[in-house]
Structure 1
Amino acid sequence: MDSLENQFLIAMPSLGNDYFNKTVTYICEHNDEGAMGLIINMPVNITLHDLLKQIEENDNEQASENKATLEPEEKPASVENIGLDHSLEQLVLSGGPISQNRGFVLHRTQSGWNSSLALSDDIMITTSKDILLALGTKKAPEQFVVTLGYAGWGPGQLETELQANSWLTIDADSDILFNTPIEQRWQKATEKLGIDIAHLSSDIGHA
């Protein structure tokens, strides 16, 4: 099977009340060793502003415990001093059931971060903390979504699930990712398939 990297994985009704019910997952990696992706329409009950505030508080506690001091120019900007940039009002997403204490940022292409991978011409994934500290500032990418955790499949597992009609796929759409409200992303993705949601059934076949 061809790699599904940079595609949306759209959950079909056959998944029922499964964890992935009505999810859209951006596939970041897919090869013989398995697949890894981020769910882009499962919000958790926390804003990005609140998440960054928690990170800042944890960092301050750790620094206090270690009695570490930073030079003034090295200190990150306080979330409270940044001001509530509108981008920080967005909800953080649950990217999947694995490593839910780990953050991932999908964003418009922008170089300069410590740990980034280009997924397409206009989408990158960054996992290093430096990008989190830059969100809400002028250094932040133009558009981004933040997830906690990721979804993973072992060798051949995703292929088997596709054959069982659990998923359909389309090319990733940055407009759905960055501009479409979270609660509309599954519907918009299924519309791009050319399928009426009302007529979806669990035994839909592949073209």
Structure 2
Amino acid sequence: MLWTVTTGRSRSRSRRTSLRLLLTLGVVIALAVAAVIVLRPPGPRPLFQLPVACGETWQLGTYPGHGENDVDFFPLSGDPWGQPVLASYDGRVTVAGINGSLGARTPDNPDGPRGRGGGYWVKIDHGGRWETQYLHLLEPPLVQVGQRVARGEQIGRIGSTGNSGAPHLHYEQRRGWQKVETWFDGQPSGITHDDAEYTVRLTSNNCR
């Protein structure tokens, strides 16, 4: 009778080979999933509304160096500090926290040192590879990651955290992770390039 002798070294080599195969398979699967996500065409544009209270008229604008398709919101009446920020459309919160650093600009100290980035912010996934972002909020967001929100639901309050010179809302719409021109109530805002200062006034139809 013949016996097969397996040494510890052979078993160890076999385990290493199996682990390498599993790791390679995992990488292949991850790349395939990523490719499907990236290559999947975006769905139709949601009917986004202004992220501010129903019936209010706000100034939307940009300035040189701001960033293409970025929009800043300023109220035309009342104190901007603490005004409600609303979800532009139904979706799921994917980020609710701090982007960069907060700085120290508050209603009691509006000229305090700036922070970096967007300060307190929220990002909402609306499906079909569409998302919106809301930056420079006054305080920690009123929503949590994973939470479902409805259009018009309050997600935060206007502030000046992060790299911000005055209380306002920095807002973006993204399609497949790429910033695009903002549309509200089915109409383009007209704010695209940041090679010049540009402002418009729009009235919110974000009514529940």
TM-score bracket relative to the smaller structure? under 0.3
Structure with bigger helix share is 1
Please give the TM-score of this superposition, normalised by the length of structure 1: 0.27
Highest CA radius of gyration, 1 or 2? Answer: 2
